[in-house]
Amino acid sequence: MSESYMEKALLKLARQINAFDEASLMSLWEKYAEKVRHFEPTKRWEESVIVFNLIQSTRLKNQLFNYNWAQSRLPDAASHEIDFAALTSPEHSGTAPDSEASGAGPELVADERKKRHTGKLLTLTPKKNT
């Protein structure tokens, strides 16, 4: 199957980003989160959003890889629901075991998932023109 020019360019970019280590990318997380927080209708802001999302996507890829690798190493491991929002948060240190296995009800499990989520909520407000 033939790849389009755009797909080839995206795959090349993915390979380049994948070559960076997560720690180096995460050191830029706060810088770009702050730039994204302060909206301005410029190409520079748009590029900052893309950089921020590349950092987030690399974090998500690594967390998914680690999660799936750990799951594959467990004998007869049951499938667990993944909290994707928590996986991309720099404060989040990994997924905690679900309480579903302990027999907790769905409401309790949902409450525990909310408590585990420590991600930052970005409040995006328009820049005031003076």
pLDDT tens, position by position, 39-87: 999 999 999 999 999 999 888 888 888 888 888 777 665 556 666 556 5
What length does the chain have? 130
End-to-end CA gap in the chain: 54
pLDDT given at position 5: 92
pLDDT at residue 107 is higher than 70: no
Q: ∠40-127-85 over CA atoms, to 5°?
A: 70
Identify the residue with better confidence: 127 or 20.
Answer: 20
- What pLDDT sits at residue 67? 84
Domain that holds residue 26: 5-126
> Is 93's pLDDT higher than 50?
no
At 24-39, the pLDDT tens digits run: 888 999 999 999 999 9
Tally of domains in the chain: 1
Q: Once rounded to an integer, what is the mean pLDDT over residues 93-105?
A: 45
Residue 74: per-residue pLDDT: 73
- Cβ atoms of residues 56 and 41 within 8 Å: no
Question: Which of residues 124 and 48 earns the better pLDDT score?
Answer: 48
pLDDT range class, residue 94, cuts 50, 70, 90: very low
Tokens of 121: 């909520």
